[in-house]
Amino acid sequence: MLFSVGAASHAAENVSLMLNWTPTADHSPIYYAKSKGWYKDAGIDLSIESGKGSAVSAQRVGSGGTPIGISDLPTAMQARGKGADLTAVMVIYANSPQGFYWLKSSGITGPKDFAGKKIGNPPGDAARLMWPAFAKKTGIDPNAVTFVNVSPPAKVAALKSKSVDIISDFYNEHDLKAREFGADLGFAPWRENGVNVYGNSLLVNSAYLAKNKDLVRKFVEITQRAYDSCVKTFDPCLQALMADVSGLNADNQRDQWERIKQLMRDDTTTKVALGAFDANRVKADYALVQSLIGIDKAFEPTTMFTNDFLDTKVRMTAK
């Protein structure tokens, strides 16, 4: 294993967390909890690593390259089908954040017009991995589009310059695009097009989890509490994020957080616990991935998640 647990019981354990992408508002609760010393007080010396897409973070966690990471659940399912040893312990996005954006002036009226078009996103992007499912749900040949490699910061510029016809992006960034393109902006959220799969989730390497249940429990409880705190009052969380991450615009991050709260909210997170998975939804996500994309080696979907480490007294707000 590439991560280790210190021998001294009184010393903080070194734990690394790999994000799905570069840090933004959706990761701010983790930075907030770290800045407040919550992880350190629980004996966790947390280091946070920027990611390069859900596929990369799922692979890293599944191989033991890092004990904890963030990935969208369908991508984690595909990774587990390839042998990745991972367990989801908390959902961040109870609703899919994925969406496609285009310019109405291009003649595109909706997803059925995507055939023959160029879609810009990074190679490791979950939207690219899940594209066959979206395409089949909306009646498009998955091979009818061309993917163009575009880094996350360059997506808006690529759409504006028309080097691509469509970009995929999280709903978090919706306001930025609305301001840039105004009434010319076209938008198709996945959650309204038959693909409302679980989004970003906290993953733990299963072997690490088996050996470090108390540590994982502390980590999950702290992270859940941090998200709850940020839902209630975002400014301290924004300050913690901005203090640690350069190049972010505070107003954009505030806009993102308002969208993120919508994505965090469903019947399970409001009635069972903030961050809780619903077994039937996990099964449905698995069935969708298996039938429309494929899972190399089948497994029982309920074995890849647990709600055991969540505090049921902490629940997502209803509005």
pLDDT category of residue 19 using cuts at 50, 70 and 90: very high
Contact residues for 82 (Cβ-Cβ < 8 A; gap 6+)? 296, 297
Considering the entire predicted model, what is its pTM? 0.91
Query: Tell me: the pLDDT tens digits for 277-294?
Result: 999 999 999 999 999 999
Q: Look at residue 225 and tell me whether its pLDDT is greater than 70.
A: yes
Measured in whole angstroms, how far is the alpha carbon of residue 79 from the centre of its chain? 15
Q: Look at residue 11 and tell me whether its pLDDT is greater than 90.
A: no
- At 304 the pLDDT is 97
- Which residue from 181, 189, 176, 185 is spatially nearest to 263, judged by alpha carbons? 189
- At 137 the pLDDT is 92
CATH class of 98-192: alpha beta
**Rounded-to-integer distance, Cα 75 and Cα 200, Å:** 10
Q: Look at residue 315 and tell me whether its pLDDT is greater than 80.
A: yes
Give yes or no for a contact between 72 and 191, defined as CB atoms under 8 angstroms apart. Answer: no
Contact residues for 295 (Cβ-Cβ < 8 A; gap 6+)? 77, 78, 80, 81, 286, 289
pLDDT (average), residues 165-194: 96
Residue 41 has phi, psi (to 5 degrees) of -65, -25
Give yes or no for a contact between 259 and 172, defined as CB atoms under 8 angstroms apart. Answer: yes
- At 6 the pLDDT is 41
Q: Look at residue 1 and tell me whether its pLDDT is greater than 80.
A: no
Give yes or no for a contact between 198 and 266, defined as CB atoms under 8 angstroms apart. Answer: no
- At 10 the pLDDT is 58
- At 2 the pLDDT is 42
Residues 250/20/117/101 CA torsion (nearest 10 deg): -30
**Distances from the Cα of 89 to the Cα of 23, 43, 237, 315, angstroms:** 20, 19, 22, 15
Query: Tell me: the pLDDT tens digits for 63-76?
Result: 999 999 999 999 99
Query: Where do the domains of the chain lie?
Result: 13-95+197-304, 98-192
Q: Are strands 185-189 and 98-103 parallel, antiparallel or unpaired?
A: antiparallel
Query: Tell me: the pLDDT tens digits for 72-123?
Result: 999 999 999 999 999 999 999 999 999 999 999 999 999 999 999 999 999 8
| Between residues 1 and 28, the one the model is more confident about | 28
Task: Tally the C-alpha atoms within 13 A of residue 282's C-alpha that lie toward its C-beta.
Answer: 23
Average pLDDT, the chain: 95
Q: Look at residue 9 and tell me whether its pLDDT is greater than 70.
A: no
| Between residues 10 and 273, the one the model is more confident about | 273
Task: Write the CATH number of the domain with boundaries 13-95+197-304.
Answer: 3.40.190.10
pLDDT (average), residues 227-254: 98
**Rounded-to-integer distance, Cα 65 and Cα 79, Å:** 14
